[in-house]
Amino acid sequence: MTERTEQPRRFADMKRWTYILPVIVFIYVICYIDRTNISFALPHLKTDMHLSGAQQGFASGVFFWGYLLLQIPGGYMAERWSAKRWVAILMVLWSVAAMASGLTHTFGQLVLARFLLGVAEGGVQPALMTSIRSWFPFAERSRAYAIFKLYTPIAAVVAAPFSGIILTVADWRWMFIIQGGAPLVIGLIAWLAVMRDTPAKARWLSDNERDHIERARIEEGEPLQHRGTFKAAFTSSIVWYFALIYTLTQMGLLGLTLWMPSVLKKAFHTDLQVGLVAMLPQVVAAIAIVMVGRSADRRGHHVAHMSLVLAAGAVIMAGASVVSAEQKWLVLTAMILGTAASIAWYGPFWASITKLVPVAAAGAGMGLINGVGNLGSFIGPYVGGWLSDLDNGGYTLTQAFFGLVFAVAALLVLPLRKRLRDAARHEAARTEPSTL
């Protein structure tokens, strides 16, 4: 490759990675904080609204029922209409719903506000993931999706002190209002200023840079304009197969996240110690996500990366079931490695989806996979709690269950290897005449 050809590629890479991805990650960090901040408000809501335990659980979980509604339309609208406009509209709606939670006075009002927040946020993630597909060819998507997934550890580290400061100087109402207003004030401005639906519409790219990005996607057999349908997504067997794998991983991940503070509390006793050590798994997880995504792009073998990481997570989490709370450093080590392994597969997983899901099912299919997969967010905590009750408040059965879930996911990933090889051969056969 000549230096003249290499220069546009370097600039295109730099601008995509430093313009598009930071804004996408920032938006979804705010989104994730607004989703989870109710956990910090629950003790205050219990007192002010006199909520029972069941009502607190319902107010927390009703978000996910609303979240399911726009998953499939979210990817479809971003693909068929405009990701930039669609996400901007949803950001305004979710900001209003999030701030409305701080203005509620009854249980019914709180449930309605949280449900509408779920509806608005539900269409955001599929749209953002569709945008990443438009801006990054397959050879770079493991890294791109891995960086996108950084919203999980970043939000986990930021949410607690951010919420704590507001609750210290104000109250839960102001926490909802301030954190809900952030996307409208900051995120919306950044999104509209930077985001474009395709490289062709980005004035901050040169003509050569735009040509490089679009040519890379065409060479990989992807049309620049997708025209997917709902029917194609619902009737695609590979979409449902990915949805099953994602459901299992989300079941284990959310279950692990929910029960981790309780496990650490038994080992480290004080809230301050738990708060400090709980950040370590998130930091290590962030590093692991990027490293696995980068390795998958550079070396290929996406299935091997996914299966090895999921299998490692299965062994670590199942093994943690035999570690007692008195062995606190072993508990912490298991939590660090288990948390890292439970999400580090994310980059190659979603990159594989963009390669194997039919073009006609792409946008809606990504929403379907994400939506159905989030059903695991309902199942994991309940099964984990039930197993803990059977274990007289212990976590041996719970951790063993999470390990089994990830082991099954690791096995289900393996058949994808042949599909990816076949897709690569088909792509090579199609482009071979143009190289003669």
What would the mean pLDDT of 314-337 be, rounded to a whole number?
Answer: 74
Q: Which two tokens stand for residue 55?
A: 């009502």
> 3-class DSSP state for residue 26?
helix
CB neighbour list of residue 307: distance below 8 Å, 6 or more residues apart = 410, 411, 413, 414
Q: How far apart are CA 151 and CA 422, in angstroms?
A: 33
pLDDT the model gives residue 1: 45
Which phi-psi region, left, alpha or beta, contains residue 269 (left: φ > 0; alpha: ψ -120 to 50)? left
Q: Which two tokens stand for residue 81?
A: 């209409």
Q: Alpha helix locations (H) across 220-361?
A: 230-234, 237-268, 271-277, 279-299, 302-319, 328-343, 346-356
Cα angle at 344 between 341 and 345, to 5 degrees? 100
Confidence of residue 38 (pLDDT cuts 50, 70, 90): confident
Most confidently modeled range among 121-135, 154-168, 275-289: 121-135
pLDDT the model gives residue 49: 87
Nearest to residue 37, comparing CAs of 121, 153, 163?
A: 163
Displacement of CA 221 from its chain's centroid (Å): 26
CB neighbour list of residue 187: distance below 8 Å, 6 or more residues apart = 26, 27, 30, 91
Please classify residue 252 by burial: count the beta carbons closer than 10 Å to its beta carbon, then call 0-12 exposed, 13-18 middle and 19+ buried.
buried
Please classify residue 316 by burial: count the beta carbons closer than 10 Å to its beta carbon, then call 0-12 exposed, 13-18 middle and 19+ buried.
buried
pLDDT the model gives residue 262: 58
Displacement of CA 359 from its chain's centroid (Å): 22
Q: Which two tokens stand for residue 37?
A: 């901040």
Nearest to residue 173, comparing CAs of 37, 75, 299?
A: 37
Nearest to residue 90, comparing CAs of 65, 109, 69?
A: 69
Confidence of residue 434 (pLDDT cuts 50, 70, 90): very low
Select the more confidently predicted residue: 78 or 247: 247
Read off the pLDDT of residues 77-111 as tens digits, 9 standing for 90 and up. Answer: 888 888 899 999 999 999 999 999 999 999 899 99
DSSP assignment letter at 187: I
> 3-class DSSP state for residue 103?
helix
Q: How far apart are CA 311 and CA 398, in angstroms?
A: 17
pLDDT the model gives residue 408: 94
CB 352 within 8 A of CB 420: yes
Residue burial 262-281, b: 16+ Cβ < 10 Å; e: rest: ebbebbbeeeeebeebbeeb
pLDDT the model gives residue 63: 84
Q: How far apart are CA 317 and CA 346, in angstroms?
A: 18
Nearest to residue 260, comparing CAs of 286, 281, 246?
A: 281
pLDDT the model gives residue 250: 85
Query: How close are the terminal C-alpha atoms of the chain, in Å?
Result: 17
**Residue 391, CA distances (Å) to 32, 321, 397, 398, 403 in order:** 32, 11, 7, 9, 16
Residue 254 above 80 pLDDT? no
Residue 9 above 70 pLDDT? no
Q: How far apart are CA 123 and CA 146, in angstroms?
A: 20
Nearest to residue 136, comparing CAs of 15, 259, 292?
A: 15
Read off the pLDDT of residues 166-222 as tens digits, 9 standing for 90 and up. Answer: 888 888 899 999 998 877 788 888 899 888 888 888 888 877 777 777 777 777 666
Confidence of residue 2 (pLDDT cuts 50, 70, 90): very low
Q: Which two tokens stand for residue 388?
A: 């803990």
The residue count for the chain:
436
Computed over every residue of the chain, the mean pLDDT equals 81
CB neighbour list of residue 53: distance below 8 Å, 6 or more residues apart = none
Residue 427 above 70 pLDDT? no
Tell me which residue has tokens 């929403």: 367
CB 232 within 8 A of CB 358: yes
Nearest to residue 406, comparing CAs of 338, 348, 353, 355?
A: 338
Select the more confidently predicted residue: 160 or 44: 44
Tell me which residue has tokens 């480290």: 268
What would the mean pLDDT of 231-259 be, rounded to a whole number?
Answer: 82
Q: Identify the structural domains of the chain with CATH numbers, from first to last.
A: 1-227 (1.20.1250.20), 228-436 (1.20.1250.20)
pLDDT the model gives residue 407: 92
